[in-house]
Structure 1
Amino acid sequence: MRLGPGGMAIPWEMFKREFLIKYFPVDVKNKNVVEFMELKQGNMTVADYAVKFETFVLV
């Protein structure tokens, strides 16, 4: 739990939701989903692709 204004406790789920809204807007998330769905094998390894997408996803 974190403390919000006035010392009110903020549950983790509320913090997580607000954090994602502020730092990972829906349009950015949707762009990443589209990019993933259109993914074609190139010169990158599976591990390279995992690192690339893990840097964008926080869910």
Structure 2
Amino acid sequence: MAGEQKAKGKKEQAKGKAKETVGRAVGNESMEAEGRLEQSKGDARQAKEKAKDVFKH
């Protein structure tokens, strides 16, 4: 399950980065902000899972 959550976090990070890049390229600030938000969600999910791993060992 932890691996599944880590993968979901990576996916959110990648999707967010792509959305931010496209938003910047077309001048859409809203899309760019959405991309940064998705990246942040992915970062938070990754951090949470890493913290869980630390306490498991």
Common topology (TM > 0.5)? no
Larger radius of gyration: 1
Short-chain TM bin: 0.3 to 0.5
Give the structure with the larger strand fraction. 1
Larger RCO (CA under 8 A, 6+ residues apart): 2
Give the structure with the larger helix fraction. 2
TM-score normalised by length of structure 2 = 0.33
TM-score normalised by length of structure 1 = 0.33
